[in-house]
Structure 1
Amino acid sequence: MTIHTKSVRLPTIDFSRFYGGATEREGFITELTRVLHDHGFFYLTGHGVPQTLINDVLAASKRFFALPEADKLSIEMVKSPHFRGYNRAGYERTRGEQDWREQLDINTEGEPVQSGPDTPWNRLYGPNQWPEALPELKPLLLRYQAEVTRIGIDVLKAIALALGQPENAFAEIYEPSPSQLLKIIRYPGREATGSDQGVGAHKDGGFVTVLLQDTTPGLRIRTEEGAWIEAPPVPGTFVINSGELLELATNGFVRADVHDVVTPPVGTERFSVAFFLGARYDAAIPVIPLPGELKRGERGVTVDPLNPIFREVGINHLKSRLRSHPDVAAKHHPDLLHLLELPATP
């Protein structure tokens, strides 16, 4: 019989300790090492993001989702070959099943880049789509994207130290331009959906995720033993979780934990803002040499035939987008659908 020894609540980490004196920072790093191995999920306080900015982003998100459908569909994702824009509830899929959430996806603002047979991930570069009916959304979300990018990179530096590596150990695979996928999300109440799958059980594909929750719960994390931990909103915090790139880099010492979101009850709705910090698309993820006491905690990379993990960052991210948005894939990238059948790189 498997005995569940982990906490039934996610830990909370005060990130201001990372910027403190040597003794305080050392204690913080020791705590982070344990949390990364046990959970990969934790609440983050002391992050330095102004509460006014957080409030403004949540308020603007609600204004966006309250727009007439025609205004939202004017920037529907299927119009973008770069997987940017708005999706109605049920239009994104996890493991082939519909996710009952509507959302707006943006990434690093840029121009299209020419792709070739060896660089199919270049199709992911390009401009975002912004709603003309809400002009204040673009500067606000780009400001917020810059703030959570700062948090993500600082957390990644702390993780490198927690793994016995130099602080900038991961910089060579995210500089000068990491992936900066940001989603504002609304989960309608259960009376408006076809199931309780707000978003299905999955792992995040990047380095770290910085999640802002509003007030309605729904996020759950599955432990290795199969138990589910609820992660309700805690004011003033972000939920941080490790992604598949860290699982690859540490041979499973850090796990990208499976998680999902349950559709909110009838008569309610749930809002969140999720940021996914990833590596450069042209990078490959090495296995970092962990020190002996940590190396003994390696568990290997998870093998999931329905969701293979690739060490080539661009292929990994492109596979995820093709799988999650079959309408965009069919319209703009039918020649890439074979990527969904490739075996993972060991």
Structure 2
Amino acid sequence: MENVSLPIIDFAALSGAPEARRQMLARLGQAAREVGFFYLTGHGLSEADQKATLGLAARFFALPEQEKRSVQMVHSPHFRGYNQVGAELTRARPDRREQFDIMGEETAIGAYALHQPWQRLTGPNQWPAALPEMKTHLLDWQERLTDITLGLLSAFAEVLEQPADVFDASIRGAPYQHMKLIHYPGREAGSSDQGVGAHKDPGYLTLVMQDNQSGLEVETANGWISAPPLAGALVVNIGELLELASNGYLKATLHRVVSPPPGVSRLSCAFFMAARLDATVPLLSLSPELAAQAQGPESDPTNPLFYQVGENVLKGRLRSHPDVAARHYGQPDGAAQGIRDKAQEPIPA
């Protein structure tokens, strides 16, 4: 294992003795403010359980191509299911990874009740018939990861000197959940090394579980650095919604994955937690001291940020999966008309 280059946060200490908790909250705030990424230990997920989840991922990706294609994402207007290598785009370039995406297990909203394009994100997952145990295991795992992110979100409320329930209105009922199992094949001669292109995540928080192979990289003021696996730890990063809520005090950071070398593969499990799709991101009123350090969310004309959560999530899904966009949203360029119109509106000051 390489030397770790990101801060390490002990989740258990955030609910421990007062002094240890105070010190860990200070470290958490510094990590989220300066880097936007950190390792999380003390989260309660055993290494054995983590290996079992990655082992299930390995079994899925080893299935015959026909079995995997039976649950292709293009069949789902809710963006759930399997994608083969090259099917997902980042900044209009294909990523060299295959993956299996799930979200909350839900009932699709009837056509009579659909008023916004993003409401179509709600719906059931697809599950491979060849691995019936996947449904129970992954839905349970997703709930365990959700609990961790909710604990972190509560800690960030304290870091931002806000009431403990400041995010409750945006997650009440259930936050938006999105989890993916990912397989990165080794590079081939002449192929791109873009496992995943440079991007930011659209939610509140992201948790990443890695196997023993490096590949994740984070942009810093000193250039790109590696975030190699740390035994038992999760990698956590700040999403665009927390950057928006804190007016840029917390940092959503560009990151990417470089494909492993020839003959080597990499497995990971990424979990993205956002506010409810029908929620609006709260713009927090920071203390004068914190507000003086908040420089506003970064503005990228090619990647507009929306305070309405469903719009922000759907924007990313349409852009990344043009095949699903074309089949189910009638937009081969990956942008529903409502999203295109909204992109012209500036983020409120």
Give TM-score scaled by structure 2 length: 0.94
Q: 1:100–1:193: 8 Å Cα contact kept in structure 2?
A: no
Find 1:206's aligned residue among 189, 203, 206.
203
Task: After TM superposition, give the deviation of residue 226 of structure 1 in Å.
Answer: 5.8
Deviations 1:205-225 (A, max 9, x none): 0000010001110001112x3
Q: 2:46–2:232: 8 Å Cα contact kept in structure 1?
A: no
Amino acid at match of 1:240: V
Residue number in structure 2 paired with 1:156: 153
Find 1:101's aligned residue among 93, 97, 100.
97
Q: Does 1:236 align with 2:237?
A: no
Question: Hey, what's the Cα distance between the residues in 2 that align with 1:231 and 1:22?
Answer: 30
Structure 2: which 5+ residue stretches go unaligned? none
Deviations 1:73-101 (A, max 9, x none): 00000000110000001000011110110
Amino acid at match of 2:125: N
Q: Does 1:337 align with 2:336?
A: yes
Amino acid at match of 1:326: P
Question: Hey, what's the Cα distance between the residues in 1 that align with 2:207 and 2:160?
Answer: 20
Question: Hey, what's the Cα distance between the residues in 1 that align with 2:165 and 2:64?
Answer: 45
Amino acid at match of 1:174: I
Residue number in structure 2 paired with 1:221: 218
Question: Hey, what's the Cα distance between the residues in 2 that align with 1:140 and 1:327?
Answer: 28
Deviations 1:1-40 (A, max 9, x none): xxxxxxx921111111111022221111111111111011
Q: 1:95–1:306: 8 Å Cα contact kept in structure 2?
A: no
SS at match of 1:10: coil
The worse-fitting range, judged by mean Cα deviation, of 297-306 and 99-108 is 297-306
Task: After TM superposition, give the deviation of residue 49 of structure 1 in Å.
Answer: 1.3
Question: Hey, what's the Cα distance between the residues in 1 that align with 2:321 and 2:99?
Answer: 12
SS at match of 1:13: strand
Question: Hey, what's the Cα distance between the residues in 1 that align with 2:190 and 2:230?
Answer: 26
The worse-fitting range, judged by mean Cα deviation, of 113-122 and 45-54 is 113-122
Give TM-score scaled by structure 1 length: 0.95
Q: How has the CA–CA distance of structure 1 residues 226 and 94 changed in structure 2, closer, same or farther, with 3 Å as cutoff?
A: farther
Residue number in structure 2 paired with 1:293: 289
Residue number in structure 2 paired with 1:174: 171
How many residues in Structure 1 have an aligned counterpart in Structure 2? 339
Residue number in structure 2 paired with 1:83: 79
Deviations 1:208-259 (A, max 9, x none): 0010001110001112x36112100111100000000001001111111000
Question: Hey, what's the Cα distance between the residues in 1 that align with 2:294 and 2:127?
Answer: 43
Q: Does 1:310 align with 2:306?
A: yes
Amino acid at match of 1:38: E
Q: How has the CA–CA distance of structure 1 residues 234 and 340 changed in structure 2, closer, same or farther, with 3 Å as cutoff?
A: farther
Task: After TM superposition, give the deviation of residue 194 of structure 1 in Å.
Answer: 2.7
Task: After TM superposition, give the deviation of residue 344 of structure 1 in Å.
Answer: 4.7
Q: 1:311–1:345: 8 Å Cα contact kept in structure 2?
A: no
Residue number in structure 2 paired with 1:130: 127
Structure 1: which 5+ residue stretches go unaligned? 1-7
Residue number in structure 1 paired with 2:43: 47
Amino acid at match of 1:337: A
What is the alpha-carbon root mean square deviation over aligned residues?
1.6
Q: Does 1:35 align with 2:31?
A: yes
Task: After TM superposition, give the deviation of residue 114 of structure 1 in Å.
Answer: 3.2
Task: After TM superposition, give the deviation of residue 50 of structure 1 in Å.
Answer: 2.6
Q: 2:167–2:282: 8 Å Cα contact kept in structure 1?
A: no
Q: 1:102–1:187: 8 Å Cα contact kept in structure 2?
A: yes
Q: 1:53–1:144: 8 Å Cα contact kept in structure 2?
A: no
Identity %: 48
Question: Hey, what's the Cα distance between the residues in 1 that align with 2:5 and 2:222?
Answer: 15
Residue number in structure 2 paired with 1:5: none
